[in-house]
Structure 1
Amino acid sequence: MATLTTLLTVVTAVVLSSAAWVVLSAAAVESLNSEGYALLSLKQSIKEDPEGCLANWDASSSSDPCTWNGVTCQDLRVVSLSLPKKKLSGSLPPSLGSLPFLRHLNLRNNYLSGVLPPELFNGAPGLQSLVLYGNSFSGSLPPNIGLLVYLQALDLSQNSFSATLPQSIVRCRRLRTLNLSRNNFTGSFPLGFATSFVSLERLDLSFNRFDGVIPPDVGNLSSLQGTVDFSHNNFSGPIPASLGYLPEKVYIDLTYNNLTGPIPQSGGLMNRGPTAFIGNPGLCGPPLKNPCSSLAGGAGSPSPNPYLPGNYPAQNPGDVPGKGEKARGLSKSGLVAMVVGDVIGICLVGLLFSFCYSRLCTPCKCRDDDVYGLEKGEKGRKDCFCFRKDESEAPSENVEQYGLVPLDAQVAFDLDELLKASAFVLGKSGIGIVYKVVLEDGLTLAVRRLGEGGSQRFKEFQTEVEAIGKLRHPNVVTLRAYYWSVDEKLLIYDYIPNGSLSTALHGKPGLVSFNPLSWFVRLRILKGIVKGVVYLHEISPKKYVHGDLKPSNVLLGKNFEPRISDFGLARLANIAGGTPTLQSNRMTAPEKPLQPSAPSEAMPLGTPSSYYQAPEAMKAVKPSQKWDVYSFGVISLEVITGRYPRVQVGTSEMSSVQWIEQCIEEKKPLADVLDPYLAEDMDKEEEIIGVLKVAMACVQGTPEKRPSMRNVWEALESLPMSSYD
């Protein structure tokens, strides 16, 4: 009996406790306002929350929704709800319309699905930004979107929305960003589209099923910036001439539509390369190879222009023309000639090296008129050089003959420390040798030796080198100090540990082990290069041109971040005087030339720079920023294909630009041009093709048709990013 009584007591206590908890929970919920209820309904609509970002959305622990994750309030009213990249799955409830003061809703990159509740637009008329890209929303855009008269940013990209755009959207006259790319929208532009969105800065309608004509007054969107993307739709009819009168820096992408007729030769359209128009068989006239007929400016006999990138149809490897040529490589006689030439060249350079070494560096002891001797050892080899006094230094130069000049306040070493440091040869070129120098305190520097001559141009050298020393950007190598004397000119840089992009792409000669770069790292490197060049072109004090951009001049930091080097080096070497090519021969043993990584590739002979330079660079005297654009395009092709800028095709040799153009004309699949090391990244095909498209725009033969580096940056940033685990 006692046991039964005890059991009843326990049960009663549990029931009373549960009832009390229910009462307390009910009391807590009752303390919420309508906005709190709306947020709780959203939590109930979320099926999965693996990161627990909604864990504190709990009325029992806090009845103030302003303290919940992702919620921002003003005057105790919810004004912002931001839960991006939280792996949330579920749908949006109609009760979100109970947030009347909501200004910003950001749920990008989740797994949300379902339709957009019209109540959201009814209940939050003050909404200024609606960012839902990277989800799985479907259905149509509610007609009452026109109620959002304060809307400035609408990004619904990378979803599954369908149907036509509601006519009411033109009431959102304050829109600055409209991104509807990668959905299934259909139909034509709403009436008044171009006249309503006068503040529109970004427009991306790509990868949908829009049809009809592009409004003839679209050129009135004078606030547009970056890339205006109409690509991969079903737009038809002629290209409106007014498109040419958009701001000069706007890049217009009309690829892969059903546009017809001659390309208007108006404004900015005259400077566009063919990559902006490919995939429209009915277009004709410059810059396409398809001429228009003489009949009233008609389209003539249209022929497909498979210039880039979507014209890589899925094909069987056996259907690809020229597939067998890839394995043939150089002929036997050609290989013999190359080997004989290499042996003779190495012998001659070796003799020269031995002579100079015995005369100048053996033993490593300076004469009485030398002030410093430096002896360096690496793997049993000695390299040394002496700084010599020269009384011919002009007193009017008013500079110490052996001065180390810091260009950065953080430079804490002096010349004695530099000369006593351990040094190892990193490499040599036609402009001297580069040493890795490790100071006693562990600081590592890169020291480039420029020349021995030139005693009368110090002021010119000083002005130039100090201007370069002011450049500060995470993607540009920093010049820390310099040394000037009559006999020696040294440049002291930060040491960048992971070598050059060229070595990262092709490996180091003589080394068997090689870790190829993934596509993710390659794309990040390309973006870093662009940012560095944009800094030089537009932000640096003098709006510089690099003029010698190539993979060997792109160094890679600890995390493979790119650092552009050798900026202004050719001019400094010219001012410094001397004969740096011969100097490099006496400083280190000749290196074996880089060998091609596949029989179908031809390593550049002579000066590699020439293969990265724009065609006009061979003729023009004054460098142009468009030179760097062209060089970046060639670098991008090398990053994508893994091939040097000169390739061997059968028995002929051509530039990588010509080879890619030929592959495009022959409609070869992407796998045939892609670096074999990127085979595992074929799921990033769309992204790779997007970069290839940008690269081909950069290597246009006519400078005016190339985009600016800022346009290149915006184009790369607008690419649909693949997911990287």
Structure 2
Amino acid sequence: MKLLCRAICFLALVLLLHVHVSNAADWDTLLTFKATIQDTNGALRNWIQGSSPCIGNKANWTGIICGDGVVLGLQLENMSLSGNLSLNELTNLSGLRTLSFKNNSFGGYLPDMGKLGSLRSIYLAMNKLSGQIPDGAFQGVGALRKVHFYANGFTGPIPSSLTGLQRLVELRLDNNKFSGSIPDLEQRGLVLVNVSNNNLDGQIPAGLSRMNATLFAGNKDLCGPPLGVTCKASKKPSTPLILSVILIGIGVVLAITGVILMGMYRRRRSSKREQLEKTWTFSKSGEDVTTFKKGVDNNHNNNNNKTVAAAAAAGQEHEQGRLVFVKKDTETFELLDLLKASAEILGGGGSFGSSYKAVLMNGSSMVVKRFKEMNKVSREDFQGHMSRLGRLSHPNLLPYVAYYYRKEEKLLVTDFIPNGSLAALLHDNSGILDWTTRLKIVKGVARGLAYLYEKLPDMNTPHSHLKSSNVLLDASFEPLLTDYGLAPMTNQSHASQVMVAFKSPECEQYGRPSKRSDVWSLGILILEVLTGKSPGNYMRQGRSDTDLVRWVNSVVREEWTGEVFDSQMKGTGNSEGDMLKLLQIGLGCCERNEERRWDISEALHQIEQLRERKNNNHHLNNDEDYSSNVSDTGDYSSRAMTDDDFSFSAKH
């Protein structure tokens, strides 16, 4: 028996010694790496000799991702780190699977990755890296799944060694200075390739033609699907020189003749064209609709022998002169139909510009929103992005119906929703929104937002402007998200001033939204729905939305939880448990620390667990009844960030 006890003690000692030696090796490696970079703000101050980077699955050092006491990754994001990045010092970390140095100030060339054979993902986006990437840079790292190098200064051709990464899922090289052609990427699992805003040329490889056109925008010499730009065939002249000269001469004469005739045609139409376009130019505070209508009526009376189609034909020489429909299976109409419609100014002008309701001759009502802060977007980019948004289809999204493009301003057309916005009904003190209805609305908003995250994976904030006034309610009080997906087309300076995602804590700290800024907006909306307090009231007092979060936290901390909920909210009997759960979900979405904030999938999962009770005193018909799988005393602390790169045991 004594021998057995001694053997067990000996094995335990060996195991502890092994763990200690392993941790010592890891901390030596990490401290050696730390010595090669500049940490002026002291973000890595707790990287100290003698302490363990990992204790089981918990990180003891900032920015370390752990599993079973092994360092699985470095997540050193948004820390103002600088210097020339070198990865050679990390080769002794045998369990290393992911590296993220996103949004720092690292300079120099791309560091050598060749000795990190187990690496699954590398994020070097938003730094100051530059120079040409060696063609064989990705040899030796064949397990890579995600490569994010966007927003740097890389030049030269895209390395062909990327084609050898058979497990590649995401590749982001956008907003660099790459030139030449795109390598023939044919990996089966590839779901995202973003090479927009570079200097690339040639035909897009066939294997990437299924992706969205916006992922290739900003490269003026790229061609082929999905851009819709025909590639010019390179052919050697097959006719004698003299015949070529004759044909060129004939072509020049015909071109000159065509220009003259076109000029005459345009002069005849210019007066009418200007009048048509000027009718859209309301003042931002809302010009009198009668003046608007009078201009249209005069225009129509002066041309009473012409059909609407003929009148619209004046703008067909340029695509920007007509309405372009992006919603399928919808009845089309002409721009002049909108101009002739009975019009009503809606509100006092939103964040982007004025809106009005137009009742068409067939009785249908449309909403036209006028955007003046998109004047830097080319027609091609605008068309491609609107086509992408037009393909979205979800019960909780209000579809974009059509758009009108002018260089100075853009118009977006949607259906009119009679019930108005969530903000209007929530703050009119009518008490019409009881608990059951509010929960139904929150569920629909979360489902719509999760769908946007799924369908617009290349956008950090697929909505960017989620707030209660941008949630409309249909006849059954089903929520419809509006003004989504517009951030890429909005002037950055204006977006940072008015869009809700740009008011998140990370924007206050780092100046840009993150992948979870829309989740933060969802959390603010949940708190607004539960408390009945408008975040806008705080903003008008010169404070941020986060003051609403602080107020809720202070009330809960003082155990006055009952004071949190809106006194106008009816039908709360026997629902206190679910109300508290939704409150905690809202706070989880509003976590200031981005790493601890819930992601959209977890937020949606937790919201879906809450029960929608049927209310006989309300006209709503709730078909779904979700059983709660969460204990009333469950732990709602924010979950740490996870990554699919760690879906395996560290021992392997």
What interval of TM-score do these two structures reach, taking the shorter chain for normalisation?
A: 0.3 to 0.5
Structure with the greater alpha carbon radius of gyration: 1
User: So what's the TM-score if we normalise by structure 1?
Assistant: 0.40
User: So what's the TM-score if we normalise by structure 2?
Assistant: 0.45
Higher relative contact order (CA 8 A, sep 6+): 1
